[in-house]
Structure 1
Amino acid sequence: MPTDPTAPTAPTARPTAEAPLAPQASGAPIAVVGAACRLPGAPDVAAFWELLDRGVGAVGEAPEGRELGDAPRFGAYLDAVDRFDAAFFGIGPREAAATDPQQRLLLELGWEALENARIVPADLAGTRTAVFAAAIWDDYAALHHRQGAAAVGRHTITGLNRGVLANRLSYVLGLNGPSLTVDSAQSSSLVAVHLACESLRRGESDVAIVGGVNLVLGPASAAASATFGALSPDGRCRTFDAEANGYVRGEGGVAVVLKPLAAALADGDPVLCTLLGSAVNNDGASAGLTVPDRAAQEAVIREAHVHAGTTPTAVQYVELHGTGTPVGDPIEAAALGAALGAARVAAGAPPLLVGSAKTNVGHLEGAAGLVGLLKTALAVHHGRLPASLNFRTPPASIPLAELGLDVVTEGRAWPRQDDEPLLAGVSSFGMGGTNCHVVVGTAVPTEAGPTPAAPSGPLPWLVSGRGDDAVRGQAARLRDHVRTLAPTGQRPLDTAYSLATTRTHFEDRAVVLATDHDTAAAALTALAEGQAHPAVVRGQATAASGGGTAFVYSGQGSQRPGMGRELYETYGEFAAAFDEICAAFDPHLDRPLRELVLSGDESIHETRYAQPALFALETALTRLLAHWGITPDAVAGHSIGELT
């Protein structure tokens, strides 16, 4: 169910498998048109922004039942990672049990990200839509293999193979673009974003879903992380702080939907932010395999901004890799200072603001880069920078003023001069030296089209699901969302439009007929609780072989005074057709037909007026439906309706 039903837009032309794709210009902006997340304390994108904006940390104790051995139980965890609606994705119970929860989580995130992009997933079937996934751990596989050969079944390979992470989503949605899982250690998900952008620019894909997931399910990865020596013993990530002593593991996932900006604007897609450029490199022969290299990090930042065509003094914020380790933080600060901060110091510009989402939700390891990207995208969208938590004083090894850097310690408005565009960077570094930096810009403003007039009568709000429980659950989520809409001024028409045109319509359905948000909320509450309500209609769609659309035209007796008046006042297409037909009848009548019909005159019941009035109304309505793209496969009519 949508977390952000949006205003109506022009119908979107979706690509087909046969449609030729033109490569985009090198460095052409890529639009983030949709996103979804499942993070500690934040089950969706709106909740994640609220957590960030309020400066809340989600670190706590591991849930009961998590077998972590002797590793610290501090972390940022999800609840109920074992729950999954397998039937929704066409997966049987046995296969679901054999499938890594990371695969299951990515399926959910991919679907939700498309919905939030106002893309019906079925519309992408057979298209060159790419999936780039990221994950670095195989905890579920390790737990499974502990049971020995007896636990191996026909779904073991596909359920536990990390490469299938992306392939599973491509299979379920029927996508024919590139599909691969990226593992460059902790930089995996941001590298996946970089690869997706390059795929879109080359024209090998037209849409890309990029997801990163990380679940802490067993003692193997917990022990490895603890032995590596990078975990904070007191459960706090203190990025760039003098008391920094390591990071806290986090779990969850993020998915984003990407399109070339030009295509997104042409299709009327919602644009959260733009990705202007990116770069990937490796430390090479550094001081040690897992020791970061300042020169390589500086180089990747500079290269990304060269690709983006941006200058160091134009960047206002950077989302750090920011693990809070005594070794990594000073190296990252020095590299960032050299790449972007020094020019600001020399120009006398304000320092570059920095922060890290790891202080809120922990280090999501293979998914961490996407967490940072989503935080930055939301900050750009809202024009605010959330606080980076747990920072008081930098160590001597991070001279912030000299480096031209400053940590965001309190939520604040995004800093910029006049109307200059918002510009940020996101860094993510892998322990093996694979570095990535992405340049993020504000969405390109577009001219708003004409706002369609809202009809005065009830609007149909469509709710559907696979099964009664799903319909009720969708109703509850929509009801909760509706309660936030009234203060925003969003019209019920806009929500009705989005529900009708940008959501998948499943077999079990309900229609809520509402004139305002309060009526809708009351009806949705009844639907969620399984209660009858006069504004709710329930039913189940059935697939009829060879079915189509039929129009039935009524004859005399169905006329009423004032019929069609609201249609005439609301829709120009209807009014033009109605006027044309009335003008043709007027020479044969003793009264102007349009005035008689629309005025509510009781004379309409006389046969000499009723029949031409019905012909005019039904023909004008047919033309209005045709204007909307609704045409019949069959027609039937009675009396004057037969002639119509």
Structure 2
Amino acid sequence: MNGRRIWATIRTDCNQDGRTTKPITAPSEVQQRQLLRDIYLHSYQINPSDVQYTEAHGTGTPIGDPVEVNSLGTFFKDFPIQNNDVKQQRFIGSVNNQHRSSGIRSWSCKSYQDPSHDEARTNSTIPSFSSAKRKKSILEAIKLDVPVSVCPWSALPNRTRAACINCFGFGGTNSHAFIRQWVGDTTDVCPRNNNDGHLKFCIPVSAKTHRSLIKSIKHIATSLTDETCDMIRWAYTSSCKRDHYRYRKMFMETSIPDLIKTFEDTIDTLSNSTMSPGNTYRIIYIFCGVGTAWTKMGMDLVEKFPLFAETLRSIGT
């Protein structure tokens, strides 16, 4: 609700071994292949067949380029792209390393060509390297191709598109990033707008200064007024997905209108008073089992939160 948007998920890894090759500026094909095995088959268990486009480092040197292309090709050729039972061509390109910022330019290339834009979801394309000189026999042997014209970038069966960025540097250092387009999960994991007025939700708000705390509460109150928001999701996000600072307030309400009213009252109070910062401890919610108890205590949580009920059943078995 605050305008933050997930464009893609990024997984990275790196390794280093400056002892295996000489001179020290020479790349290690063995280490590059090992890095690819680590990131795809071990660290993240990513299916290499999902990679549709590879952005190579592209040193433009007779030593670096063949090593990198062979490393990528030898690894990925064993994992062809299967899109709806049809083999799809995997492409390789490069923003040539003729500038110190070539790594950043590679990332910029991917951002500019980001297939996660709404208007690009059905018409995404892989950029053209029309001036590239292709050694077709080498590329065919490793099942890669350089796009010399703009090519359609078809979505995978899971509706995403995926690419990787490869880089190796001085002294045997290699790095690799896997980027997958984010497609929001439509599965609703928690109930929406079904609070009957009995459940109260904890909404923490914090800031680094007293003044910033007041501004944050004002901003949230305005956002809640202007935008549709679910109380359950807002409670979860504010508790579990935000940093917590020393100037803080905790709000407990049953509905968005009640929360807005409490925010407005708190703004007036804080504007005419001072407060001492709290400790830098992390926030912990404790549901204590000692104290007042009653028949069917906790049943409202069982009825409204499937995860809570499932956890209780798993403990019971």
In the superposition, the TM-score normalised over structure 2's length comes to 0.50
Unaligned runs of 5+ in 1: 5-45, 53-271, 528-532, 545-617, 629-644
Deviations 1:393-431 (A, max 9, x none): 323468896352456998976632x45997765534222
Cα distance in 2 for partners of 1:310, 1:500 equals 30
Quick check: 1:315 aligned with 2:50?
yes
> Residues 401 and 501 from structure 1, CA distance in 2 versus in 1: closer, same or farther, beyond 3 angstroms?
closer
* Alpha carbons 2:53, 2:163 under 8 Å: kept: yes
Equivalent runs, 1:606-625 vs 2, <5 Å:
none
Q: What is the aligned partner in structure 2 of residue 464 from structure 1?
A: 206
How much has 1:326 moved relative to structure 2?
1.7
* Contact 2:201 2:231 (C-alpha < 8 Å) held by counterparts: yes
Matched residue, 1:63: none
Aligned length: 262
The CA distance in 2 between the partners of 1:281 and 1:337, in whole Å, is 21
Matched residue, 2:230: 491
Matched to 1:297, the amino acid is Q
Counterpart CA distance in 2 for 1:481 and 1:401 is 53
Following superposition, the deviation at residue 474 of structure 1 comes to 3.2
Does structure 2 retain, via aligned residues, the 8 Å contact 1:357–1:388? no
Q: Is the 8 A contact 2:58 2:94 kept in 1?
A: no
- How much has 1:290 moved relative to structure 2? 1.6
**Do 1:300 and 1:437's aligned partners in 2 also have CA atoms closer than 8 Å?**
yes
Q: Does 1:515 align with 2:250?
A: no
Question: How far apart are 1:509 and its partner, in Å?
Answer: 4.1
Q: CA deviation at 1:464?
A: 2.4
Task: Go from structure 1 to structure 2 and tell me whether the alpha carbon gap of 1:310 and 1:286 turns closer, same or farther (over 3 Å shift).
Answer: same
Q: CA distance change for structure 1 residues 428 and 448 in 2, over 3 Å: closer, same or farther?
A: same
Q: CA deviation at 1:279?
A: 7.1
CA distance in 2, matches of 1:323, 1:427: 6
Matches for 1:529-608 after TM superposition, within 5 Å: 533=264, 536=267, 538-539=269-270
Write the letter of the residue equivalent to 2:72: L
**Retained in 2: the 8 A contact 1:355–1:408?**
no
Deviation of residue 432 (structure 1)?
Answer: 1.1
Provide the C-alpha distance between the structure 2 equivalents of 1:408 and 1:471, rounded to a whole number of angstroms: 54
Look up the equivalent residue of 2:230 and give its one-letter code. Answer: R
* Higher relative contact order structure (alpha carbons within 8 Å, sequence separation ≥ 6): 2
Deviations 1:93-135 (A, max 9, x none): xxxxxxxxxxxxxxxxxxxxxxxxxxxxxxxxxxxxxxxxxxx
Greater share of residues in helix: 1
Check 1:470–1:279 CA distance in 2 against 1; reply closer, same or farther (3 A cut): closer
Does the residue aligned with 2:205 lie in a helix, a strand or coil?
strand
Q: Which amino acid aligns with 1:435?
A: N
Aligned to 2:155: 415
The aligned runs of 1:160-199 (5 Å cut-off) are: none
Q: For residues 398 and 467 of structure 1, do their structure 2 counterparts lie closer, same or farther at Cα, with a shift above 3 Å needed?
A: farther
SS at match of 2:15: strand
**Deviation of 1:334 (Å):** 3.6
Distance in 2, Cα, partners of 1:407 & 1:475: 51
The answer for the alignment partner of 2:166 in structure 1 is 427
Q: Secondary structure at the match of 1:349?
A: strand
* Corresponding position: 1:326 with 2:68: no
Q: 1:336 pairs with 54, 62, 72, which one?
A: 72
Query: Residues 578-625 of structure 1: CA distance to partner in whole angstroms, max 9, x if unpaired?
Result: xxxxxxxxxxxxxxxxxxxxxxxxxxxxxxxxxxxxxxxx998x9569
Whole-Å Cα distance in 2 between the matches of residues 342 and 392 of structure 1?
A: 27
Q: Assess if the C-alpha contact under 8 Å between 2:204 and 2:251 holds in 1.
A: yes
Partner residue in 2 for 1:393 = 131
Q: Deviations over 1:120-165 (max 9, x none)?
A: xxxxxxxxxxxxxxxxxxxxxxxxxxxxxxxxxxxxxxxxxxxxxx
Partner amino acid for 2:68?
E
For 1:379 and 1:305, locate their aligned partners in 2 and report how far apart those are by CA, in whole Å.
Answer: 22
Match of 1:451 among 191, 197, 202: 191
Distance 1:364 1:309 in 2: 25
Deviation at 1:470, TM superposition (A): 1.9
Change (3 A) 1:543 1:436: closer
Paired AA for residue 75 in structure 2: A
Kept in 1: contact 2:213–2:247 (CA 8 A): no
Structure 2 match to 1:506: 246
Contact preservation (8 Å) 1:387, 1:408: no
Contact 1:292 1:433 in 2 (8 A): yes
Residue identity matched to 1:292: P
CA 1:352–1:515 in 2, change beyond 3 Å: closer, same or farther?
same
Could you tell me how far 1:506 is from its partner in structure 2? 3.4
State the alpha-carbon separation in 1 of the partners of residues 27 and 194 from structure 2.
Answer: 58
Question: Which of the residues 88, 93, 96 maps onto 1:350?
Answer: 88
**12, 24, 29: which one aligns with 1:289:** 24
Q: CA separation of 1:354/1:3 partners in 2, compared to 1, >3 Å: closer, same or farther?
A: farther
Q: Which runs of 5+ in 2 are unaligned?
A: 279-291, 303-317
Partner of 1:605: none
Partner SS for 2:191: coil
Evaluate the alpha carbon distance shift between residue 511 and residue 311 of structure 1 in structure 2; reply closer, same or farther with a 3 A threshold.
closer
1:293 positional shift? 4.1
RMSD: 6.2
Residue 88 of structure 2 aligns to a residue whose secondary structure is: coil
1:301 is aligned to 36
Q: Give how far 1:466 is off.
A: 2.8
One-letter amino acid of the structure 2 residue matched with residue 315 of structure 1: D
SS at 1:463 equivalent? strand
Match of 1:474 in 2: 216
Alpha-carbon deviation of 1:298? 3.8
Superposition deviation, residue 491 in structure 1: 1.6
Q: Which residue of structure 1 lines up, in the alignment, with residue 309 of structure 2?
A: none
Q: Over residues 280-333 of structure 1, what are the superposed CA-to-partner deviations in whole Å (9 max), with x where a residue is unaligned?
A: 353645463223344543454246545366775x2324554x445422556433
Task: Output the CA distance in 2 between the equivalents of 1:397 and 1:484.
Answer: 58
Decide whether the 8 Å contact of 2:15 with 2:31 is kept in 1.
no
Assess, with a 3 A threshold, how the Cα gap between structure 1 residues 334 and 543 changes in structure 2: closer, same or farther. Answer: closer
Identity of counterpart residues, as a percentage? 14
SS at match of 2:87: coil
Amino acid at match of 1:326: G
- Alpha-carbon separation, structure 2, partners of 1:357 and 1:512: 53
Note closer, same or farther for the CA distance 1:395–1:299 as it changes in structure 2 (3 Å cut): farther
Sort the Cα spacing of 1:299 and 1:511 in 2 relative to 1 into closer, same or farther, 3 A.
closer
Preserved CA contact (<8 Å) 1:387 1:409 = no
> When the two structures are superposed, what TM-score results if normalisation uses the length of structure 1?
0.29
Once residues 414 and 391 of structure 1 are traced to their aligned partners in structure 2, the CA distance between those partners, rounded to angstroms, is: 18
